[in-house]
Amino acid sequence: MRPITRGLLAGLTVSTLTLVGCSSDSKSDATTTTEAAADDTAAADEPATTNAPAVPATVTGGSAEITVTVGVDDFETSGGTRVVSVPKGTNVTLSLTNPDADESYHLHGYDLEQDAAKGATAKITFTADQSGRFDVESHNTEATLLVLVVV
């Protein structure tokens, strides 16, 4: 092996060990831990599974406001039935409140995030210009709060 290749391999080994050290997985095998970390990331970003029909949001003048209160009417609390649809092109405002904790909200697909203090309402406003199903989730608990369907 040429010295430059050995140096490259040594660098890769250090990178792998650093990644393992940052992982919450306690396995000691670097290959298994790296694969497990990739699997954990993929699982966390998988869309919510539901057979619930989407309930159309009220759209007035091309805009819709969808309100979610964590622990009251969110996807998890409703048993996986909080699915709301809007027509493509709608200006959407998601109003999200967690009365019990500080929260960090994330709208997948649009990659929008908003933080809010306990009891405060976070607002995520955007134009629904992508068709599909998009989860709104808590970054604190990884729980799905709403499935938004844009048709």
Whole-prediction pTM value?
0.71
Say yes or no to pLDDT of 142 above 90. Answer: yes
- Domain locations along the chain: 3-44, 55-150
Do 126 and 110 touch, CB atoms closer than 8 A?
yes
What pLDDT shows up at residue 30? 32
What pLDDT shows up at residue 46? 78
Tell me how many helices (H) and strands (E) the chain has. Answer: 2, 9
Q: What is the DSSP letter of 127?
A: E
Taking only the tens place, the pLDDT of each residue in 80-109 is: 999 999 999 999 999 999 999 999 999 999
CA angle 114, 115, 119 (to 5 degrees): 125
Residue 119 corresponds to which tokens in the numbers above? Answer: 């009891």
Please, which pLDDT band fits residue 133 given cuts at 50, 70 and 90? very high
Do 116 and 103 touch, CB atoms closer than 8 A?
yes
What integer is the mean pLDDT of 113-136? 98
55-150: CATH topology is Immunoglobulin-like (2.60.40)
* Stronger pLDDT, 68 or 3, i.e. the higher one: 68
Dihedral sign of CA atoms 38, 41, 45, 47 in order: positive
Taking only the tens place, the pLDDT of each residue in 31-54 is: 322 333 334 444 456 778 888 999
CA atoms within 13 A on the CB side of 74: 23
Say yes or no to pLDDT of 144 above 60. Answer: yes
